[in-house]
Amino acid sequence: SQQGEEDPQALSIQEGENATMNCSYKTSINNLQWYRQNSGRGLVHLILIRSNEREKHSGRLRVTLDTSKKSSSLLITASRAADTASYFCATVPSGGSYIPTFGRGTSLIVHP
Amino acid sequence: GAGVSQSPSNKVTEKGKDVELRCDPISGHTALYWYRQRLGQGLEFLIYFQGNSAPDKSGLPSDRFSAERTGESVSTLTIQRTQQEDSAVYLCASSLAIGRVGEKLFFGSGTQLSVL
């Protein structure tokens, strides 16, 4: 089963604009991670936010977490054509299994 | 090696044949995961290994799927009597230790399996 669900499924923007992707989940988590995938192959870890954190930054990336709403958002500021990729959130449950569960992803296209 | 290595990168097989996919994790990573990704879909968990503990096989879709891992190194995923619905990218990932919650996953480039 897929724990996290990203929204929107697809996003098309112009270079320089900001891109916002959302992730909703259902059960309690220990942390939430965002990954990027180019061309349908290997994923690359972007950022991790723990359940007791509300916001984290890494370069042009900003991630927020609202555990009361069971949702997270990934903001990419000043987007570039090279940011074109699919972005996935992965939730790590609290207690028991620590296996990350991935959503279906958001496909981002940044037009030059 | 520097990263997670998977082989082959592409595999075309006929329905009913067995296939074996290989994963070399990052040296020192005790946790190893297999995921499956169908075209345009998210990642579906298959199995994970952590050190010498019994593997978590809860994600394997049928008894045609099996996996082994030699100690804390190479893992092979075997699919017997392949079916067309097995066509997907099979991704392997490793991390330092599943018990240390929050460890990020390092992924290989995957094996694209096509069953004709």
Mutation site, A6, A56, A98, interface B, largest B CB count within 10 A: A98
Mutation site, A29, A43, A51, A97, interface B, largest B CB count within 10 A: A43
Three-state SS annotation for chain A: CCCCEEECCEEEEECCCCEEEEEECCCCEEEEEEEEECCCCCEEEEEEEECCCCEEEECCEEEEEECCCCEEEEEECCCCHHHCEEEEEEEEECCCCCCCEECCCEEEEEEC
Q: Which residue of A has its CA nearest to B49?
A: A99
In our burial notation (b when 16+ CB lie closer than 10 A, e otherwise), range A23-39 reads bbbeeebebbbbbbbee
pLDDT tens per residue, range B76-90: 999 999 999 999 999
Question: Which residues in chain B touch residue A104, judged by CB atoms under 8 angstroms apart?
Answer: 41-42
Q: Given pLDDT bands bounded at 50, 70 and 90, which one contains residue B39?
A: confident
Tell me the nearest-neighbour CA distance from A98 into chain B, angstroms. 6
Least confident stretch, A24-28, A57-61, B21-25: A24-28
Residue A25 C-beta-side C-alpha neighbours within 13 Å = 32
Q: What average pLDDT score do residues A18-25 get?
A: 96
Q: Given pLDDT bands bounded at 50, 70 and 90, which one contains residue B40?
A: confident
Q: What average pLDDT score do residues A94-107 get?
A: 86
Residue B36 has pLDDT above 60, yes or no: yes
Q: Which residue numbers of B have CB closer than 8 Å to A's CBs?
A: 4, 33, 35, 37, 39, 41-45, 48, 56, 89, 91, 93, 98-99, 101-102, 104-110
Residue A2 has pLDDT above 80, yes or no: no
Which residue has better confidence, B70 or A25?
A25
